[in-house]
């Protein structure tokens, strides 16, 4: 899966998070900190979903039964 959408605030690709756009009122460092936090949360959530899907796949279940 390829992602071409980029977040306006954090310029992230992949698991996409929309950060509340506060414009130029926020300091750049503060914006980057919020963007990084949201990005890491999204990636963790994405990885969790992928692991969950992988664990529930039929081949995985048959392997567990065979063992």
The 10s digit of each residue's pLDDT in 49-58 is 777 766 666 6
**Can you give the C-alpha Rg of the chain in angstroms?**
17
**First CA to last CA distance, the chain:** 32
CB burial readout 19-29, b (16+ within 10 A) else e = beeeeeeeeee
Residues 26, 19 contacting (CB under 8 angstroms): no
Q: Residue 10: pLDDT above 60?
A: no
For the entire predicted model, the pTM comes to 0.37
Scan for tokens 């310029």, then name that residue. 11
């Amino acid at each position: 899966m390829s992602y071409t959408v980029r977040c306006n605030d954090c310029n992230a690709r992949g698991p996409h998070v929309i950060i509340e756009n506060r414009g130029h009122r926020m300091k750049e460092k503060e914006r980057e900190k919020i963007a990084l936090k949201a990005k890491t949360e999204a990636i963790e959530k994405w990885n969790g979903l992928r692991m969950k899907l992988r664990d529930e796949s039929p081949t995985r279940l048959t392997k567990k039964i065979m063992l």
